[in-house]
Amino acid sequence: MTFNEHSKTLKQQKKYKEAISHLTPEIEKSPNNAHLYYQRCKLHLKNSYYKQANDDISIAIELSPDKWIYHYQKACLYQTTQQHSQGLKEINKALDTFKQTMSKIVHKQTNKDMCKIYRLRASIHYDTENFLNAYKDFKKAFRLSQNNPKVIYGFAQSLRKRGKFLKATQYYNKVSELEKGNHMPIFYRGICFYKLERFDKAIESFKQTVEINPYYFYAWHNLISCLNKMGNFNEALHYSEHVREFRLLKESNYPFGEVSGCYFSLGQSQKAITNINNHLKYRPNSFSGNCKKVEILMKQLLFTDAAKICKRIKNKYPNNNHFKVLYLRGLCNMYNGKLKEAQNELYFLVQKQPENPQYINSLHECTRELPNFKSNSKISAKFEHAQRCINNKTPMHIKLQISANIYLENNQPELARKKLQKLLIYIPNCQEFWVCYLLSKCFLLEKNVLQSLNFCKKAILLAPQCTLFNNHLKFLQKSLNN
């Protein structure tokens, strides 16, 4: 067996250490043979011997600086060791050297080699989250080799990262056709459909993913999440039990939040809380877990308990702006009648995210309950800005609530009331009491005190512990007596 044949056999058998030992004496015999250093570099890289790999490829480049493949190999090494800026420089050298070499020998550059270079440069751009340049290079690579699954997969990934979800699904489909046993393109196709809110298609993709790889817990998690969003709560719980029974997920990765949401939606509040508490045993500082518990407590109208958890989470992460926590705590304080505290928190949020119509609207509603509302020009100015911030992604219930509040601001209670009555179709169940309260305010402005009283009583029936509503009821009863 010749030297090359022996080396090839060892590589095929993945006996990389033996291959290195076989190659080293040949290097000692021919110390100026750059190709031998290049071959040993690849073997060192297979064994994760990065220093030795770097030494060998550096010698190869020094001996033959006009070989593009050596610069390419060094770029591979830099990418593996996450030295991305050096990797980018080296792959650009490989590209320049390749073009010069091809022109010097008047040889048509091969699509395969050029594709290889563009793909590596695209991967480095992708690793550094430069998704636009990654997309451009993957596109060039794809044009050169349209049946290379690695290139197509990278191209699809760059499309997804740039928000081109529907187009990305086409390329994920192509990868799955070329690589039947690969679950990753099918999983990311599901992620794209999830982003497009086509949950039925996402569910189909995630089910296909777990058929290929039943141990891929991200697919199970997303499948349960999609079923939850589709309102298929019993099916979501069925899969969650399947996951737990076969221990496909570690307890810390179990989708407690989604499962708790299913239990709550099915009216099983105690199971929802028990489930989320089990999650917090494993991860007591879980941000998502605590937020889910806050949301469930708010749906149960336990605002004081929810506010306490919000405060603890905020104190646990003092260096992070967890706007969601502050917003939830602001709402809890507002519903509990702690208006000044709520106003401070909501005002802080609006300062941090001045384009968020939801924050602006809640701040306005909170401030309106305070005695100095009319004199608070800063809040009024921000509220005028809220309508301009509404976009396609703004939920319908927020749009309606802002419109209703603008009519109230302009002393048009009848128009506000129509918006609020429509809002009852869209508003989340946990906030129905607040809409009833606003309707009561509208009827009061229309001087229909009796109807105002009826809606106030309905608000109290839905949220009996809300101080604001009880104070409003006393005011209405006093008005009727007078």
Per-residue pLDDT for 429 more than 70?
Answer: no
Looking at residue 268, the DSSP 8-state letter turns out to be -
Give the span between the Cα atoms of 223 and 205, in whole angstroms: 9
Half-sphere exposure of 152 (CA within 13 A, CB side): 19
CATH fold, domain 1-109, is 1.25.40
Q: Residue 10 — very low, low, confident or very high, per pLDDT cuts 50/70/90?
A: low
More confident residue, 91 or 111: 91
Q: Tell me the two tokens of residue 4.
A: 């090359």
CA dihedral angle for residue 415, residue 419, residue 422, residue 424, rounded to 10 degrees: -120
How many helical (H) and strand (E) elements, i.e. helices and strands, does the chain have? 27, 0
Q: Kindly report which listed range (107-121, 195-209, 309-323, 337-351) carries the lowest average pLDDT score.
A: 309-323
Q: Residue 246 — very low, low, confident or very high, per pLDDT cuts 50/70/90?
A: low
Per-residue pLDDT for 42 more than 60?
Answer: yes
Helices within 230-286 (DSSP H only): 233-245, 256-265, 269-282
CB 194 within 8 A of CB 202: yes
Average pLDDT of every residue of the chain: 84
Residue 441: partners with Cβ closer than 8 Å, 6 or more residues away: 408, 413, 452, 472
State residue 106's pLDDT score: 44
Cα–Cα–Cα angle for 400, 299, 229, nearest 5°? 70
Tell me the percentage of the chain whose pLDDT exceeds 70.
87
State residue 154's pLDDT score: 96
Q: Tell me the two tokens of residue 132.
A: 């636009």
Condensed to tens digits (0 to 9), the pLDDT of residues 280-312 reads 877 777 777 788 888 888 877 788 888 888 888
Work out the burial of residue 125: count CB atoms within 10 Å of its CB; fewer than 13 is exposed, 13-18 middle, 19 or more buried: buried
Give the span between the Cα atoms of 384 and 398, in whole angstroms: 15
Give the span between the Cα atoms of 58 and 78, in whole angstroms: 12
Per mean pLDDT, which of 42-51, 67-76, 315-324 is the most reliable? 67-76
Cα–Cα–Cα angle for 263, 265, 266, nearest 5°? 65
Looking at residue 249, the DSSP 8-state letter turns out to be S
| Average pLDDT value for residue range 316-337 | 76
Residue 2: partners with Cβ closer than 8 Å, 6 or more residues away: none
Per-residue pLDDT for 29 more than 70?
Answer: yes
Q: Kindly report which listed range (386-390, 437-441, 459-463) carries the lowest average pLDDT score.
A: 386-390
State residue 225's pLDDT score: 87
More confident residue, 186 or 463: 186
Question: What is the Rg, in whole angstroms, of the alpha carbon atoms belonging to the chain?
Answer: 31
Per-residue pLDDT for 107 more than 70?
Answer: no
CA distances, 263 to each of 201, 247, 296, 331 (Å)? 24, 21, 10, 24
Per mean pLDDT, which of 50-59, 284-293, 301-310, 415-424 is the most reliable? 50-59
End-to-end CA distance of the chain: 111
Q: Residue 202 — very low, low, confident or very high, per pLDDT cuts 50/70/90?
A: very high
State residue 13's pLDDT score: 67
Looking at residue 1, the DSSP 8-state letter turns out to be -
Condensed to tens digits (0 to 9), the pLDDT of residues 207-239 reads 999 999 988 888 988 998 899 888 888 898 888
State residue 375's pLDDT score: 47
Q: Tell me the two tokens of residue 80.
A: 């593996």
| Average pLDDT value for residue range 143-149 | 91
What are the sequence ranges of the domains in the chain?
A: 1-109
| Average pLDDT value for residue range 183-190 | 96
